[in-house]
A and B are shown apart, each in its own frame.
With several copies, the nearest count.
Chain A
Amino acid sequence: MTVQLARTPQEAVGDVADGSTVMIGGFGPAGQPVELIDALLEQGAGDLVVVSNNAGNGEDALARLIQLGRVRRIVCSFPRQVDSWHFDEAYRTGRIELELVPQGNLAERIRAAGAGLGGFFTPTGYGTPLAEGKETRVVDGVPMVFESPLRADLALVKAFRADGAGNLVYRKTARNFGPVMATAARRTVAQVTEVLPAGSIDPESVVTPGIYVDAVVPIDSTTVLAGAQPSERGATS
C-alpha cells in the first residue's frame, strides 16, 4: 500500500489496540525510535507485548512505558542495564513477564516471521537454560535448537532517510533491528530525519524497500546527530 507521510509521530503511530505486540528497534540508544515510543505512550494502549533488544533506559520512552505498567510481557536479549531500574523493579515484583532470547536468535526469529518461514534450527543456546523444553536436533553433527518465528502487530523503527515510496536507509550502527522488524509487523512506522521524493535514494542502496513501510514521519533529530560530521549527512546518494 502507498506509504503514509505523517506530520506527527502521533499521526504515524495511529490507533494501537490494547494487547498488541509491538516491536521497537534500537540497540541501546542507537536506533531507538524515541519520538514514536513517546507517541505510543500518549496514545494509551496497554497490556502490550514488546519485542526489543533492551528493556529501556532511564526515565523515558520504553522505560516509562514499563514504569506505567503498560507492558505485560517483553521479549528481549538484554534487559539488564545500568539504568534499567524501571524494568528491574517491574521484573522483580512480577509485574512484567520476560522472555529472554539470545540476540542472534531474536533477530533471526523476527526475520523468519517476515520471510514467511515456520521456524529454524540454530546452534545458539543449545544445552543452556534458554533452550530448556525446546525441540532439539543434531544437524551435520551439530546439536541445534528449534526456534519459532516472532511477529508483531506494529513495528516502530528509526531510520535515517525515507523517500516517497517508503524506502529506508539507516545510519551506521543505528541500523540494527530496524530492517528485520520492518518485515515482521502488520504495520510498520519509521521515524526519519527527512523524507525525500521517490527516486532520491539509489535503488542499489535501499536497505528497507518501501513495501515494508506503512508510515514515515520526519523528526528533527539534530541533537541525536550532534556528533556526526556534517559531510556524513550527505554520504548517501
Chain B
Amino acid sequence: MSAETIPAGARGTAPLSTAQMAARVAADIRPGSYVNLGIGLPTLVADHLPAGAGITLHTENGLLGMGPSPRADLVDPELINAGKVPVTELAGASYFHQADSFAMMRGGHIDVCVLGAFQVSASGDLANWSTGRPGAVPAVGGAMDLAVGAKRSVVMMKLLTKDGEPKLVRECTLPLTGVGCVSRIYSDLAVIDVGPALDGEARLVESYGVSRRELEEMLGLSLASVAA
C-alpha cells in the first residue's frame, strides 16, 4: 500500500493502531534503502520492513546493519541502539565512531529517517526534543542531526496529544529541532505531506476514519488534496 497508489483523499474506515501506523510507514520505504528509526514509536517500523528487501538500519551511536533485539541470554551491553536497547548485528554490518556516524547522517547518505514529534508545522518545522517546560532538564541527543541529515525525514506520531491538542500546527510553539525538515507525517488519523515546498499548506494524502473536513476542524488548518 504505497502512498502513490492511493487516490487523493482516500480514507480508511478507522484510526490506525500503532502497529498499523508502523506498517504504513514501512510500506513507503523502498527496497534497498538505508533507514534510521528514531527512539519511541518509530522503532516499531523495524518489525514491518519486508524481509529480503535489502533495507539496512543505521543507528547513530555507530552501527550500520543493525538487527533485532537478541535473546535475553545473548544480550551484549556493548551492542545497543540509540535508545540504549540491546540489538544485534547482521551480516554486512559495520561499526564506526560518532564523528563518522553523524557524517553519514548529516551528509545525506541515509535515505529515510523516521522521527517522533511533539509538534510539526505545515512548513515542515519539527519540535521533538523539548517540552519547553520551565525547570525541565533539557536533552537533545542526535535529534537535531537526524532531523536535517537524511535525504527524507518523516514523522510518525499520534495526530493529537493526550489532551486532544493538534500536533500538526500552523507554527510550532515548542522549541524547534529543525526548520522545514519534515516532508511527511504518518499518524493514526491521516498521512499528511508538509514542508517548505508546499507554500505553507499541508496536503492530505489519506485519512483513517475521519473526513478531510473533520481533520481540518480538528487541526484548525486547511488541508489541500494531493495534486491530481
Contacts and interface: CB of A to CB of B under 8 A. Distances in A.
Assess A/B contact in the complex (Cβ within 8 A). yes
Interface of A: 1-2, 27-31, 53, 77-81, 84, 87-88, 91-92, 98, 100-108, 110-111, 113-117, 122-130, 143, 163-165, 167, 170-180, 183, 197-199, 203-204, 206-207, 209-212, 224-229
B78 A173 contact: yes
Nearest to B144: A102
Interface stretch (B18-26, B99-107, B218-226): B99-107
A183 B142 contact: no
22 contacts: A1-B32, A27-B98, A30-B78, A30-B79, A78-B140, A92-B137, A102-B141, A102-B145, A103-B140, A116-B106, A117-B106, A127-B178, A128-B144, A165-B93, A170-B95, A173-B78, A175-B97, A207-B97, A209-B64, A210-B94, A211-B109, A229-B74
A176 B61 contact: yes
Tell me which of A91, A106, A129, A172 has the highest count of chain B C-beta atoms within 10 A of its own C-beta.
A172
Interface residues of B, number: 67
Tell me which of A115, A174, A177 has the highest count of chain B C-beta atoms within 10 A of its own C-beta.
A115
B195 interface: no
Contact of B92 (A122, A175, A210): A210
B187 interface: no
A85 to B, nearest CB: 10
Contact of B176 (A115, A127, A209): A127
A29 B140 contact: no
Contacts of B56: 165, 210-211
B85 to A, nearest CB: 10
Nearest to B86: A227
A214 to B, nearest CB: 11
Nearest to B136: A80
Given A199-B92, A229-B74, A126 B148 contact: yes
A122 B48 CA distance: 33
B80 A28 contact: yes
What 4 A-B pairs are tightest by C-beta distance, nearest first?
A165-B92, A104-B102, A199-B91, A198-B92
B76 interface: yes
Contact of B99 (A100, A107, A199, A227): A107
A104 B62 contact: no
B92 A163 contact: yes
Given A113-B107, A116-B103, A165-B56, 17 more contacts: A1-B33, A1-B111, A27-B62, A91-B137, A102-B144, A103-B98, A104-B144, A116-B106, A128-B178, A165-B93, A172-B76, A180-B99, A183-B109, A207-B97, A210-B92, A224-B78, A227-B74
A165 B65 contact: yes
Contact of A80 (B65, B111, B137, B144): B137
B29 interface: no
Interface string B35-78: 00000000000000000001010111111110000100111111
A130 B144 contact: yes
B62 A176 contact: yes
A1 B96 CA distance: 19
B108 interface: yes
Contacts of A28: 80, 84
A184 B89 CA distance: 26
B139 A80 contact: yes
